[in-house]
Amino acid sequence: MAPIDVGDTLPDGTLAYFDDQNELQQVSVHSLAAGKKVVLFGVPGAFTPTCSLKHVPGFIEKADELKSKGVDEILCLSVNDPFVMKAWAKTYPENKAVKFLADGSANYTHALGLELDLSEKGLGTRSRRFALLVDDLKVKAANVESGGEFTVSSADDIIKAL
């Protein structure tokens, strides 16, 4: 499948997260994004260096600026289980805006066409690093990284697209 691109409709799918009451929830992507402007960014793995030290912190630090430009939701997607995503989210106590969503079986990542096979490194199927700007389910910007790069999917890159 070709990777999702500008002009495409964001596919629906079910992801998992822990809510504020520490309850495991299943949520449809469309319920989070329909009628809203959202940033959906994907990372290859929780607790990995670039993801933990650059990608996620950038969206946390720029959350107020993104919100001031009309972004309703900032969603972080990773092919990890919800328990790992919950533990990872706790490492950012200052975070008030980024929701950590688990795509444990990579089903949604496959629907986006953004899977990355890291089996040779013992990591199985993961997500490519990306950031999508979506307005009422329509993709307005699709910043997808090549290989292990981090050059086009930062919070600053999404702010430029707004």
Query: Which residues are CB-neighbours of 55 under 8 A, at least 6 positions away?
Result: 41, 43, 129, 150, 153, 154
Contacts of 20 (CB under 8 A, 6+ apart): none
Of these residues, 10, 15, 33, 51, which one is catalytic? 51
Asked if residue 161 lies in contact with residue 87, where contact means CB atoms within 8 angstroms, the answer is: no
The answer to whether residue 51 is catalytic is yes
Residue found under tokens 């490492």: 91
In this structure, what token pair is assigned to residue 31?
A: 């319920």
Positions annotated as catalytic residues are 51
